[in-house]
Amino acid sequence: MVVDTPAWQHLKRHASDLRGQHLRDLFAADPNRFQRLTVRWSQGNDWLLDLSKQRITAETLPLLAELWRTADVPGWIAKMRAGAPINHTEGRAVLHVALRNMGHDGGPIKVDGRDVMPDVQAVLTKMRGFCDAIHSGHWRGATGEPICDIVNIGIGGSDLGPRMATQALAAQHVPHLRVHYVANLDGADLATTLAGLTPRTTLFIIASKTFTTQETMQNAASARAWLTAALGEAAVSRHFVAISTALDRVAAFGIDPANAFAFWDWVGGRFSLWSAIGLPLALAIGFDKFAAMLAGAHAMDEHFFSAPPQENLPALLAFIDLWNADFLGLQTRALLPYSQSLGLLPRYLQQLEMESLGKQVDRDGKSVGCPTQPILWGEPGTNGQHAFYQLLHQGGRTLSCEFIACREADFPLAGHHEKLLANCFAQSAALMQGKTEAEARAELESAVPPEPTSSGVHGAVPPDPSFLAPYKVFPGNQPSTTLLLPKLDPHTLGALIALYEHKVFTLGALWNLNAFDQWGVEYGKQIANALLPMIEGKAPVAGIDSSTAGLIDACQ
């Protein structure tokens, strides 16, 4: 197990030495701490990753790099790039990097001895042609009207990735075309989306590799009924396309198989944004900008493949998560993008990270021996400051925060962005340094007395500093990372998503986990399929626990 290696034991001793040290003392002891613990990536147009507010020293990262070598992360990278079936429980390659390899002289990428790049190119070419047809008005609905609204119906990886990116790139959207997303099996999701749409000008994308996913196919059937009630059965072929490889089921639904876009079993759902799953995003921003996003992801791929671990952005983020979870005991991480456009990034990363790494059995079928993926949650700033930041500052729990900010605004309204950055930087500083009771008391004692009212009487008497000072104490020592991006555009977003994908890959290697299966998801589906006939009244309520039986009975 990884916990038995010398590298792990070195880190354990180092963590013991660091306990009791406050971040403000680490800064006071090293005036160059920011310079020592900041990494820049010039190919990303000068990205900056600031780790100086994490509870680490100059010794920590070399020790984590030792664990990188012990776990043979470079060897796992080579296996992935060679198309080896590193998703060993499903016998599949893991090659989402192939999806953004086009036009970069990356050479062939093979699975089972076959180069997959021609297939990737064929699908991208088909996506470009379809986007051009929609944008130009060449593709029209059954009544001859151009398409104004796109509704993507999928779930999980077939929804979260393109949905998040579509919102993130709102400043790049094609005019006069609206893209919507439906995922939840709850009818409220589909019904409220359709309420504002017109069948004659609406196109549906059904994203399901097998065309059997329960949530997706139920929503697709209801969308089909909505459309055919207005336009008739013959209209289906002009208002539905599919992202699937199950062409027989696609045809049975009424979709022309020529309007089905393929993707492959070596693309995991939560890593599939770069494939045909990204079609609604490409429609939202135009295919050229979608290609720019692929190029940004490819640039991050090359950085991850070549940079040494202490200069490697995905590796460094992975190191910090592992260090905080397994050596400092921090089981929660707050992702705090100071960008409204990145408002869905926490939700997207919940799937990417917690579905990939929320596991306790290693590649050898044994216990990992340590905690793995931290619980991830978050909200864009400054909204979160008026919700949960109180707990971050004075709640008595230590957790790691990850701030993301952009030097330039994607929607540059005068007076907004400077205030946004000021709040972002202030929060990480406050979490780091805190405020002692003596500092709080001195601040209160030096406060300016209230101004007299118009009647000449002073306002409320300021509270006694001895009374109020304890309430203004902030322990600080809350670790945080800040990632400063140039500007949120397609290239930057592509690199950002790839950054987190490779972080997940690195953590999987460090913990000796398969980050690419999801048996926990499958188990719940298995039970739901068994319960459905009981809830529908088609089978007796039997063979299940009394609580579940009672809940079913209460719904009859």
Q: Are 512 and 519 in contact (CB under 8 A)?
A: no
Contact 531, 547 (CB under 8 A): no
355 is catalytic: yes
Beta-carbon contacts of 545 under 8 Å, excluding residues fewer than 6 positions away, are none
Q: What is the DSSP letter of 452?
A: B
Asked if 404 contacts 337 with a C-beta cutoff of 8 angstroms, the reply is: yes
Catalytic residue among 12, 138, 416, 525: 525
Q: Which of 209, 298, 303, 355 is catalytic?
A: 355
Angle, vertex CA 59, rays to CA 498 and CA 302, nearest 5: 20
Query: Catalytic: which of 104, 138, 386, 419?
Result: 386
Q: Which two tokens stand for residue 501?
A: 């994908």
Query: Helices 60-70 and 313-326: crossing angle, nearest 10°?
Result: 100
Please list, residue by residue across 267-303, b when 16 or more beta carbons sit within 10 angstroms of its beta carbon and e when fewer do.
Answer: bbbbbbbbbbbbbbbbbbbbbebbbbbbbbbbbbbeb
Burial 467-487 (b: 16+ CB within 10 A, else e): eebeebbbebbbbbbbbbbee
> 386 catalytic, yes or no?
yes
Cis, bond preceding 382 (omega within 30 deg of 0):
yes
- Our CA angle for 350, 353, 356, nearest 5°, is 120
Going by C-alpha positions, the residue among 247, 280, 244 that lies closest to residue 264 is 244
Active-site residue flag, 439: no
C-alpha distance from residue 426 to each of 390, 429, 434, 435, 551 (Å): 14, 5, 11, 13, 48
CA–CA dist 426, 474 (Å, integer):
14
Q: How many residues does the chain have?
A: 556
Please identify every residue annotated as catalytic.
Answer: 355, 386, 525
